[in-house]
Amino acid sequence: MPSPPSEPATPAQRRNRRVAVICAATFVAMVGAAYAAVPLYKAFCQVTGFDGTVRRAQAAPDTVLARKLLIRFDTNVRDLPWTFTAKQSSQTLRIGETGLAFFTVTNNSDKPLTGQATYGVIPESVGPYFQKLQCFCFSEQTIGAGKTVEFPVVYFVDPKFADDFESQGKQEVTLSYTFYPTTKTTKTTKVAANAPASQAKASQPLGGTARAGL
């Protein structure tokens, strides 16, 4: 026996359905925007130096000032069985001078793992002026099981820092890194464990011009 035809929806029911569809679409859009906001915010900070984020530079400045800054280094790891340390606790260099620092990472697990470092400087007002020519943090790094890798960082403080009224009296800057795990496999990421250990050590000393390929 055929079922009786359903009654047509009332105006109130149709309105409620439209509201439900709009709410569901809005929720999906908000979730997508939240995920997209993370890389967009990171890219914005890296370009502008906002929120203490270090900027990436293409070339070292031509001017080196007499004023010196003490650069301290801070290392952290989140959710990775890695030991991450700076080979020097601090460096002193002049504003505009190129600095060269070294960091080591040891994978304490029995399998290759991939991570990427986030970074920033304290005080945050130095962010637009603290720039890096080369850094392991620009890409994901895969460390082999039980391997230790040494990474160089080439950086400088833009001479414009000295003209900023907020920089007056500031003599110390802390460069901080935190390694987080990533989901990419070793086939699609840079296998840092295969990099020759002598690569970083062949660089010129602090204040010298960084070699290509660092």
- Which CATH number is 100's domain given? 2.60.370.10
Q: Which helix (H) or strand (E) holds 132?
A: strand 130-134
Per-residue model confidence as pLDDT tens digits over 132-179 = 999 999 999 999 999 999 999 999 999 999 999 888 888 999 999 999
Which residues span the domain enclosing 98? 55-201
Q: Are residues 105 and 187 in the same domain?
A: yes
pLDDT over 90 at 117, yes or no:
yes
Q: Are residues 85 and 64 in the same domain?
A: yes
Q: d(Cα 162, Cα 157) in Å, to the nearest integer?
A: 9
Q: What pTM, to 2 d.p., does this model score?
A: 0.64
* Contact residues for 84 (Cβ-Cβ < 8 A; gap 6+): 75, 76, 77, 103, 104, 105, 106, 177, 179
Instruction: Report if residue 207 sits inside a domain.
Output: no
Instruction: Report if residue 3 sits inside a domain.
Output: no
